[in-house]
């Protein structure tokens, strides 16, 4: 591989039951130079498929547009039911900078894809997260509120005029949110207490919304079988709120209750840099460069 730049994309499609359709859509990510399909999983209850794909910017944009086009053709939201909120055949398309790509470039990618979907495919696009054109459009849940059904009217309101495409819901495919964000790290810390109240309180103390660390979302969770509890987190920017800082802060908070950390878990994928930064901290490594990591040199 000589991918100098790597971007990740995690498009969500509103089909999780008709696996023939899912395969057709996912095929847009197969066998393409500069694109690698890492994972896709369909949920019957949600009636939704989440795809994880990485690639070089140009190749990835093309493949994402191709997949979106297939989804628009194949999926009719008028007939869609499932537990997960949704507003479009392809429901959300986040671009995530991974290597030699900054947030500005990921934002550019989201806008370029949004422009094609809106202008060429007449599929209304809302830019969200870091790509949002206004603060009230940053949060996906707010953009999607009302879902496919409500979007028929919502999209006509001036504050919900789409960023690209007609101000009219696509009759079968609805609308889509396209944007750029940092990689999410799902990180959970286990506590040697069965008292959910303690895990919940620690979660509140360390999370952003209650005055804690800027890029932490957290809640307390019971692990019934193990008779312990967990601070379950999403770290929304590990480059600015480091994992070790979150971990050590939880340790410090737990002390107040005479509780200790018994372990942690990483759910799903995590960027190499997030863990290497952790090793650098604990070993106190001076002047370390990611170029010293053998695998990082191989990928250049």
Residues that bind its own copies (CB under 8 A): 1-3, 6, 8, 36, 38, 54, 98-99, 183, 190, 243-244, 247, 261-266, 268-272, 275-276, 278-280, 282-288, 292-299
Residue closer to its own copies (CB basis): 252 or 285:
285
Cβ contact 102:108 at 8 Å = no
Nearest distance, CB of residue 254 and its own copies, angstroms: 13
Nearest distance, CB of residue 8 and its own copies, angstroms: 7
Residue closer to its own copies (CB basis): 167 or 262:
262
Tokens of 234: 């999403």
Of the listed 46, 84, 136, 208, which one is catalytic? 84
Please write down the long-range contacts of 108-113, taking CB distance under 8 Å and 24 or more positions apart: 109/7, 109/57, 109/60, 109/61, 109/180, 110/178, 110/179, 110/180, 111/178, 112/61, 113/61, 113/64, 113/65, 113/68, 113/178
Residue closer to its own copies (CB basis): 239 or 264:
264
Nearest distance, CB of residue 16 and its own copies, angstroms: 23
- CA dist 8 → 30, 104, 106, 112, 257 (Å): 15, 14, 9, 15, 40
Cβ contact 63:34 at 8 Å = no
Nearest distance, CB of residue 155 and its own copies, angstroms: 35
* CA dist., res. 104 & res. 115, Å (int): 16
SS3 at position 211: coil
Nearest distance, CB of residue 19 and its own copies, angstroms: 23
Cβ contact 82:5 at 8 Å = no
* CA dist., res. 242 & res. 261, Å (int): 18
DSSP state of 116: I
Residue closer to its own copies (CB basis): 119 or 265:
265
118-150 b/e (C-beta count within 10 Å ≥ 16 → b): beebebbbbbbbbbbeeeebbebeebbeebbee
Residue closer to its own copies (CB basis): 78 or 287:
287
Note if 224 is an active site residue: no
Nearest distance, CB of residue 261 and its own copies, angstroms: 7
Tokens of 199: 């895990």
Residue closer to its own copies (CB basis): 36 or 145:
36
Q: Which residues are catalytic?
A: 84
């Amino acid at each position: 591989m000589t991918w100098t730049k790597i971007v990740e994309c995690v498009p969500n499609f509103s089909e999780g039951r008709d696996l023939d359709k899912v395969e057709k859509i996912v095929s847009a990510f197969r066998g393409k130079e500069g694109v690698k399909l890492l994972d896709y999983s369909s949920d019957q209850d949600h009636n939704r498929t989440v795809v994880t794909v990485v690639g070089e910017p140009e190749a990835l944009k093309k493949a994402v547009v191709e997949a979106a086009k297939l989804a628009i053709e194949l999926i009719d939201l008028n007939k869609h039911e499932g537990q997960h909120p949704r507003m479009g055949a392809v429901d959300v398309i986040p671009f995530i900078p991974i290597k030699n790509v900054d947030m500005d470039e990921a934002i550019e990618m989201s806008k370029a894809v949004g422009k094609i979907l809106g202008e060429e495919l007449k599929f209304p696009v809302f830019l969200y997260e870091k790509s949002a054109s206004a603060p009230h459009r940053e949060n996906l849940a707010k953009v999607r509120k009302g879902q496919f059904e409500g979007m028929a009217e919502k999209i006509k309101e001036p504050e919900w005029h789409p960023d690209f495409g007609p101000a009219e819901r696509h009759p079968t495919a609805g609308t889509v949110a396209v944007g750029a964000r940092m990689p999410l790290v799902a990180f959970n810390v286990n506590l040697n207490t069965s008292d959910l109240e303690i895990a919940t309180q620690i979660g509140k103390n360390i999370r952003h919304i209650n005055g804690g660390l800027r890029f932490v979302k957290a809640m307390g969770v019971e692990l019934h079988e193990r008779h312990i509890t967990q601070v379950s987190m999403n770290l929304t920017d590990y480059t600015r709120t480091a994992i070790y800082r979150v971990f050590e802060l939880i340790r410090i908070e737990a002390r107040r209750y005479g509780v200790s950390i018994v372990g942690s878990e990483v759910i799903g994928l995590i960027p190499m840099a997030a863990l290497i930064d952790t090793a650098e901290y604990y070993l106190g490594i001076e002047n370390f460069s990611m170029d010293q990591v053998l695998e990082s040199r191989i990928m250049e």
